[in-house]
Homo-oligomer: A and B are copies of this chain.
Amino acid sequence: MMNPLVEKLSRRDVVTDVEQAVLAELLDPPRAVAAGEDIVKNHSRPDHSTLLLSGLAARYVYLADGGRQITEIGVPGDFMDLHSLLMKQMDHGVLALTEVTVAGAPHGKLRAITEDHPHLTRLLWLDTIIDAAIHRQWLAAMGRRNGLGRFAHLIAELYLRLETVGLARDHVLELPLSQPVLGDALGLSAVHVNRLVAEMRASGMLKWTHPRVEILDWDRLVEVAEFDPTYLRLRKEAV
């Protein structure tokens, strides 16, 4: 099986054999993290970045009142904290939403890539740029869309991102996330998430038999979500 990172990057531009070798040599041996555990602590100063190889993870921020906001859901092939290479100190935490396997990429080696491999550097840079683009879509949804539209957008996005790395197809995805977790991602209460799931089921938009989600009416999902996949940059264009 191809490395999901290479798989994803290859959707955007050619990744040469040399670059694939550099990426393979970059990673420490994979390790498992249990569901619910922190992968990167907030305010820590990592000396490596962490690549998600399997399972789902989340970037999150805790609020003073105990509330939590998830700002991005990571799928296999995503670096969860590539930005710590330059940010130095973490501005948020990363946790495992399911049992995950991850591999570290030492900052020394990543820095060496920026010295010796400009094109590969641009590919990694682009990956952090797409994180920002995902954040912007979530912001628009959070600020100006109601719960249903927001939820639909999340489903559409996760489906496409999982499909990109070969983990979803035929409008079916595995989404082993509890409703409280979805609430933290959507900025909604768990109770309201539950009602939205019920509504989407009742309207025939999707079939939700936890953890399997089948999108029955993709067109309506896209319409309700106002989903425009431009921001995922899945077109192959040289950088």
Contacts and interface: CB of A to CB of B under 8 A. Distances in A.
Contacts of A186: 143
Contacts of A140: 61, 63, 69, 71
Interface in A84-109: 85-89, 91-92
A63 B237 contact: no
A47 to B, nearest CB: 13
A43 interface: yes
Interface stretch (A23-31, A117-125, A174-182, A199-207): A117-125
Q: What class of interface size applies to chain A in its complex with B?
A: 35 or more
A20 B143 CA distance: 38
The interface residues of chain A, by DSSP majority, are classed as helix
Interface stretch (A129-137, A161-169, A208-216): A129-137
A83 B125 CA distance: 9
Contacts of A64: 226
A162 to B, nearest CB: 20
Contact of A144 (B67, B115, B137, B237): B67
A58 B71 CA distance: 21
A145 B226 contact: no
A227 to B, nearest CB: 11
Contact of A129 (B86, B126, B139): B86
A233 interface: yes
A142 interface: yes
A88 B129 CA distance: 11
A121 to B, nearest CB: 6
13 contacts: A43-B230, A63-B144, A64-B226, A69-B140, A71-B139, A72-B136, A86-B122, A87-B126, A87-B130, A114-B122, A132-B132, A135-B139, A139-B142
